[in-house]
Amino acid sequence: MPDQKLCLEALSALSGCNVESTGGASQLTPQDFVNIVALKEFYKQKGFKELEYPSLGTLSLVDEDQDLYSSPLALTEGPQEPSLQTTVKINPQDFFHPQYDYDFTNIKDGDRKFMRGKELYVRPCGWNRVALRVTNRYDDGDHWLGTGDDAWPVSYHGHNMDGSLGIILTRDGDPSDEPSFLDAAAASLTMGDTRGRGVYSTPDVKMAEKYCKKFKSKVDGKTYQVVLQNRINPKKRTKCQREDVWLVYVPEGCNHVKTQAIVQESIRPYGLLLKTL
């Protein structure tokens, strides 16, 4: 496992919170963490400036010196000043799972193919994966984390991934897709607004890298990129016009509780990916 303080810096950079270690109970689980990252992106798309999250209170949605729909984020010289951030305490013993760490830094898969839940799994070659402790945490068991047909496909979440990528839903998706949303998405082509309503991720780590968060570590002075590695519920995922982007659609009119529930039942994290620039 990389230096623990470096991992906390990576979590801070992703969440916009000041993440610190504690020997007591963690304020957040890995699922809470991906909820926050995804919800912050979603509510920023809607123009909100703040997010209320249970146990943490009010979180700012204002990125440090960044326009919401800019191209990939400029380098952040370390975390924001702690006084400007919400402080989050996590216990590394119940948040990380070193047994399942995997260093892909020097691995090249070439033509080798891997599958997760009937979907191609593009392994994060070039990245160092810090495993998150997520086994035995869900009522439906751990099948979602497996390698069989009933496992959930792998997706990556890079900071600043949203509908500004110019994405619309295709019309050949699941019959249960919202017809009104599909019509609106198609119509948006002539209106110049192609932002679909929901949470975006990608099955391609190279795509996530283009939009990932960067930070300069106070631990070793090096600059790192950070991405979340998740599993995505195939029943909740909608494929977009671009094959390298997936959307968890949030219907219009959902309140915050329902929106959070949709995210929580759709995306589960299991790895924190780090890469040196």
The Cα 263–Cα 162 span in angstroms is 15
pLDDT at 223: 97
What are the pLDDT tens digits along the chain (277 aa)?
789 999 999 999 988 889 999 999 999 999 998 998 888 888 877 778 888 888 788 887 776 434 323 333 334 444 444 445 789 999 999 999 999 999 999 999 999 999 999 899 999 999 999 999 999 999 999 999 999 999 999 999 877 766 555 455 544 444 445 555 445 444 443 333 444 678 889 999 999 998 899 999 999 999 999 999 999 999 998 877 777 888 888 888 888 889 889 999 999 999 999 999 9
pLDDT at 73: 36
Please report the sign of the dihedral spanned by the C-alpha atoms of residue 77, residue 272, residue 50, residue 167.
Answer: positive
Look up residue 16 and give its two tokens: 């916009």
Beta strands in 111-243 (DSSP E): 115-116, 119-120, 128-131, 154-157, 198-201, 213-216, 223-232, 237-239
* Length of the chain measured in residues: 277
Q: Where are the alpha helices (DSSP H) in 46-178?
A: 92-95
The count of other CB atoms within 10 Å of the CB of residue 87 is 13
Cβ burial, residue 252 (10 Å; 0-12/13-18/19+): exposed
pLDDT at 167: 55
The Cα 56–Cα 87 span in angstroms is 8
Amino acid at 258: K
Distances (CA, A) of 264 to 33, 167, 260: 10, 23, 6
170-175: long-range pairs with CB below 8 Å, 24+: 170/239, 170/240, 170/241, 173/238, 173/239, 174/238
Yes or no: say if 275 and 224 are a contact pair by the CB < 8 Å rule.
yes
Yes or no: say if 58 and 50 are a contact pair by the CB < 8 Å rule.
yes
Look up residue 1 and give its two tokens: 């496992």
Yes or no: say if 251 and 15 are a contact pair by the CB < 8 Å rule.
no
pLDDT at 188: 41
DSSP for 235-275? Answer: TTEEEBSSTT-EEEE--TT--HHHHHHHHHHHEEEEEEEEE
> Residue 147: phi, psi to the nearest 5?
-120, -5
pTM of the model: 0.82
